[in-house]
Amino acid sequence: MQEAQNLEWKQSWRDEYMKWICGFANAEGGTLAIGKNDNGEVVGVANAARLLEDIPNKVRDILGIVVAVNLHTEDGRDWLEIVVDAYPSPISYKGEYHQRSGSTKQELRGAALDRFLMRKVGRRWDGVPVPYVALADLDPRAIQTFRKLAAKSGRLGEESLAESDAVLVEKLHLTEGKYLHRAATLLFHADPERFTTGACVKIGFFRTDSDLLFHDLIDGDLFTQVEKTLDLLLTKYLRAGISYEGVQRLERFPIPEAALREAVINAIAHKDYAASIPIQISVYDHKVMIWNAGPLPFDWSLAQLLDKHSSQPANPDIARAFFLAGLIESWGRGIELIRNTCLDYGSPAPIFSCDGTGLWVEFPFSAVAGIGTSVKTPVETPVETPVKTPVAILQCLMANPTMTLAEVANEIGKSLRAVERASTKLVTAGKLRHSGARKNGRWEVMDILL
């Protein structure tokens, strides 16, 4: 047996292990064993009888929860079993929020803490009310675009489509009292970045990973972003192969338009907008890579995401509007549609990966004359690729913006000098920014594309 999501071993008790109990309570619950080594072998714990009384009292006084503490004896050695239930409300340890993830404990900060607290109280980021914005601030053209798409999809009745803008927005569940939801500002405001930093799409054409030839920034309401992003990709960034059937000229893109469309729409609909980072699309002469910020759904693995699964949208309000507009399905079939469309087209299967901060979708190009270079279909067994120091720094600081460079160096296993040198280059390149005091400040990742 090994340590896992619901199991942790410690040789002796320390009060700091209250954080581990907090982490279990904020996740699925679990068991903390005191008196076992890293191999799960009983080594015994001193003063077991006293701890049997002290630990429940400390947990109650500091965490405000109740745990079961059981005494066991094996080969004459005592060990304690602390059983922690999952709690529906957020549990803090002296103002800190910890959560069990896999076999590790993580302190939640920044966007991760916001997501956790909202999930615990049954809210989602896009459903939070926004003060100082009214219906009159929304763009009537964006609402009209939605009306046309919804009428074409047939998913919204004629009676609803004939309502005023105010009633329609209310029927889309985008209001709360006198306030609009964040989703309304993203769906229907001409400049959603006034309210949400990074609510845009960046596209770049790269000769190599570090050689950017040209790029574009797409902003505006989300419906506009979908339309402009796809239009730019197909007219400016992707080169179609040309063939003839008799006198008829045929153009074939390196990846199917339907799969590209599905991937772009999914990225815009399901992005973690709290991360304040644009969706980033990297185009090469042999592949397209799409990255959007956001972790997997709580307690999901990448394998579960790629398998048949229920629909758990990160932004339910946005997803519902996109569904009614006919842009997405509501059954969690997006990845399946992308994969099957590529295979039916004769393209290599797309590659999905999660780096802890967001989801990557990579489309290798078909080995067709006139379309990019020849690429081998990737093998099923994933290959571990070393992460470059700048990428590791950005990923680390995205997860924990208050870390010092010394803490980053320790976290990624690099020397402090190497981390300082790399971070200076990232700041100079405009990909990283630091605000506040040197010791108590905060890092902001501006761009993850390297």
Q: Where in the chain is the domain with CATH 3.30.950.30?
A: 7-108
- What is the per-residue pLDDT across 124-163, written as a single tens digit (0 to 9) for each? 889 999 998 999 999 999 999 999 999 999 999 999 999 9
Domain ranges in the chain with CATH number 3.30.565.60: 201-315+322-364
Q: What is the pLDDT of residue 124?
A: 86
Give alpha helix (H) positions in 136-253: 140-153, 158-161, 165-171, 182-188, 222-232
Q: Where in the chain is the domain with CATH 1.10.10.10?
A: 389-445
* DSSP reduced 3-state for 427: helix
Instruction: Supply the pLDDT for residue 381.
Output: 37
Q: What is the pLDDT of residue 397?
A: 78
pLDDT by residue (tens digit) across 116-134? 888 887 788 899 999 989 9
- The domain defined by 201-315+322-364 folds into Heat Shock Protein 90 (3.30.565)
Of 7-16, 211-220, 351-360, 435-444, the poorest mean pLDDT is in 435-444
Each residue of 247-277: b (16+ CB within 10 Å) or e? Answer: eeeeeebbbbeebbbbbbbbbbbbbbbbbbb
Reported CATH class of domain 389-445: mainly alpha
The CATH fold assigned to 7-108 is 3.30.950
- Residue 19 pLDDT: 95
pLDDT at 448: 59
> Average pLDDT in the 15-27 region?
94
Residue-wise pLDDT for 339-359, tens only, equals: 999 999 998 999 998 876 788
127: which 2 tokens? Answer: 């459903």
More confident of the two residues 297 and 101:
101
